[in-house]
A = this chain, B = another copy of it.
Amino acid sequence: MRLVVARCTVDYRGRLDAHLPEAVRLIMVKADGCVAIHADGGAYKPLNWMNAPNTLVDHGDHWTVVNPKGETLTITLLEVLTETAHELGDDPGLQKDGVEAHLQALLAASPQAIEDGLTLVRREYPTAIGPIDLVCRDAAGQVVAIEVKRRGDIDGVEQLARYIERLHLDSSLGAVRGVFVAQVVKPQARVLAEARGFRVVEVDYDDLRGMRPDELRLF
């Protein structure tokens, strides 16, 4: 990893045009060739960047970075303050717990948390337009398609609508209804879901994690 602190200007021409006026910034060049230009604030996102793979040419007073799509990043160096390089080696990578997949797994183990009498038919039920998070049957035997989100946004409701439209093409299933499950459901998403005739359920991740499927069956 190469770290250059320099007074510079930067221009990006690609999916849009962007320009950075003269200022002192950190230029980070990683071992895989990706380049990021950071100011001294503003979260982790760099002001400007070019991902790998790309070709970096050092013209002395300016660098040009070009990617295979023809997008270019031009860094004009007006004054290099420091330049260092470091060997970091490979990284073992990040281990995560608590993402949507886990929420889905917990709900698959305890569909009663969504609705009394619900039993799982299949997780990641395949359709031509992608897998449905959970497919269940309710107490009356009707098929229920369930979309699981951490944050219930409008996009998720549309996703559920597409899946249900798809399932309706499969007449062997009979009538199918939809349930939209999330830890938090946004107001606009709730409006749309209800307009579409979907039930909306908010669930708590920690409660779910604390539940045992057998405990749930006591109700």
The answer to whether residues A96 and B17 also contact, given A5-B86, A86-B5 and a CB cut-off of 8 A, is: yes
Interface size on A, residues (CB 8 A): 62
Asked if A68 is an interface residue, CB under 8 A from chain B, the answer is no
A81 at the interface (CB under 8 A from B): yes
Cβ contacts under 8 Å, A52 to chain B: 41, 43
Q: In this complex, which of A19, A28, A43, A44 has the most chain B Cβ atoms within 10 angstroms of its Cβ?
A: A44
Interface 1/0 per residue, A73-115 and B, CB below 8 Å = 0000000011010111111111111110000000000000000
Q: CB-CB contacts of A18-51 with B at 8 A, as 1s and 0s?
A: 1111111110101110101011111111111101
A26 to chain B, nearest CB (A): 6
Interface: A218 (CB within 8 A): no
Q: Which of B1, B22, B23 contacts A26 (CB 8 A)?
A: B1
Known: A16-B97, A17-B97, A47-B94. 17 other contacts (CB 8 A): A16-B99, A18-B97, A19-B95, A20-B91, A20-B92, A24-B86, A26-B86, A26-B88, A32-B40, A36-B44, A40-B86, A40-B88, A40-B89, A40-B91, A130-B188, A155-B158, A158-B162
CB-based contact A128/B191 at 8 Å: yes
Please determine whether A46 and B44 come into contact, CB atoms closer than 8 angstroms. yes
Nearest neighbor of A51 in chain B, beta-carbon distance: B43
Stoichiometry, as copies per complex, reads 2
CB contact under 8 A between A23 and B89, given known A41-B30, A41-B31, A43-B52: yes
On whether the beta carbons of A84 and B82 are closer than 8 Å, the reply is: yes
A216 at interface, CB cutoff 8 A: no
In the complex the two chains form, what is the Cα distance from A34 to B39 in whole Å? 12
In the complex, A140 has a CB within 8 A of chain B: no
Q: Which of A25, A86, A96, A155 has the most CB of B within 10 A?
A: A86
Taking the complex as formed, is A59 at the interface, i.e. its CB lies under 8 A from any CB of chain B? no
The docked-state distance in angstroms from the alpha carbon of A32 to that of B46 is 14
